[in-house]
Structure 1
């Protein structure tokens, strides 16, 4: 989200660790209602499913029946540009319900309008049968003339009945060059890097711990709707974040004396989901709260992005939260 500023170290088995960071250049892979879409949904068997999704409020659904004679596929209306001098990866989630050969595919092209790919690879082996949301990922070989790309989703007719393949949180990642992790690696900041990857010369199967720093850039309010400015000296933290099933929220309260404080969680549409605190707090104190992913009615909130907002004596401070189910 533009806050990554330095990769400080990598801890784990092996030696010669390297790190690189990448930006997401697909843009519309979360399948939300964002006012525009680049996906070519040209049949009734290709649609945004608002009832089943991995995160957010919708997924891409592809439907086939045993009476169909060919696969259904969805891709971009136009190829998007990429840098053939850099490396790329494809990632996303797939849910199969009586699906057959459901696949997420990356394709490279030499021009925006070409229909003949110069390179192609699946994010994972095609999926058949029924399975829950499954993470798919593949590092790609970028052709030297692959100046454009597209992502395509497919589903074949099942042997019997109706089959669905649903896709969500798709990403096409363009990587910066590898750098040594032996010393802290500075990242140009602010930026639009959302992915971090590490590798080692001799590490076998196992785990590694990545330590990194973020630099947050907060804006003082001069908003169009006349909202209150951010409170000076306030800090609003949330950990873990992303989280499941709960996160701890800490608010450092500035000012003098006792001040009125209200803390609530809102969704992407600005609707209040849960009220965490309402009352007075002594200045200089830290207020600790926990959000367990439930709304004010005790119902579980769906996976997605939320915002914890603190109002402190008429001023506001906000922290993004990511709930993963």
Structure 2
């Protein structure tokens, strides 16, 4: 289980309790299972609710316990709903939020009263469905026949005038079913003080079989993940001499195909596949990416398949998505730990939060049952103490004191001149808590601007409550070209008034990934010196840039090639292809391809080849 959190939706009604098992292949598709944990009688001081609906809530908890041992293609969400007895309030809030967010709920399975069998009745389980969810009932019937053959499945109907949490999902267009004891002869003791074990909840057999059927149904809906890969991505390195070890744990329900286990890598200029081999530890494999020249960004992903043809990749979405690391020196441009005023400002157009406005302060922690809401320390190591935080609370205050309320609040950076740089990354540590995890509508967002704040491009956003200091690094040129008017903004918001939103930012920095002048020799280094490649100027450029290089000393003229590639490693233009004498040279590129057609704005590689030397650098065309 990846996370457990509270979904607040009403100041008077207890919250939903939610747990999540993320999908391994399609985490954006959800399978929900829920039951309500509130109960009601005429005596509000005595509401046992054993059958209605402790039995359904126990089913949800037991399903979570069992299924947490396995991986599935789709995300499993387990919910104990609040407020069912006063109008399906908790499930309605959950379904309405999912609808507003555009979540993809493949199916919802609700359990309400699964522990009573009337005297003389058979042990069977009713499943209530509407026309859009008949397929779920059929799947449940098939799964029960296979895994719980002693449990009969009956097409049920909710008793007249009654309803349950499945109806909230129906109301928002999501397919859902209700698991229910005999709908024609259900417990007569619900909503009374006699709804206790032994009287109302009188059939452990029905409850146990219902849980087994629900587990089988949920596993069928979420689709077991046949192959699972775990891997800690490689970090940036200055090492240009040694290969880079990739370690992964790969588990499969059937035998793996050893020939399929690969690490595929690409630099935009060269690409290859490194075989994964067992390390000797259970399920652990390793591969080695060859050493790269300085200034190289390496993208890679892991591929695995089993003998039955099931295949998966890591990260999901590869090769479109990939892990990435940089080979070369990382040089600081700016580092701000916020221990002193440095030109950051608070407030932007559209800001309307009533409380929880950004401020630079020594943060005071606030707490909830989920853990820290506002951090009790900044991120900077001692003696650092200050960060930007949304509405610093007083020491020992309630979590609701000075948290973001009623709108958004924005923290704005000064303007930075990055026009003379390339390969620049922005780094920061951020804290975000919205108290309700990934289903909360309140979004954390970070934007970048290349025109001083006139227009903005989003570089990060999330709804997921983290409640810890998290490191974020983004390549600025992936979103916008570098200019003399770069600016950043951090946005926290709470539009609902129901959740508790806190955010913080610390240790902001800008770094450049320097391109080391390191030659890669094929068959050994040149005995008479080596080729060197200079930075193109200007950079960024439009439409023309000049590239300086030096030809090494050899016996007479030396064959020289200077080639331009795009990010996909495709040849764009050969600028130089001729023998040249030792000494300096200059080439000009006008931003056109081999056919004279202008190429699009973006990042391009240029590579010098002379004798056995290779050197590659990046440049940015900005039209």
Normalised TM-score (structure 2): 0.24
**Which structure has the highest helix share of the two?**
2
Which structure has the larger Rg over C-alpha atoms?
2
TM-score by length of 1: 0.44
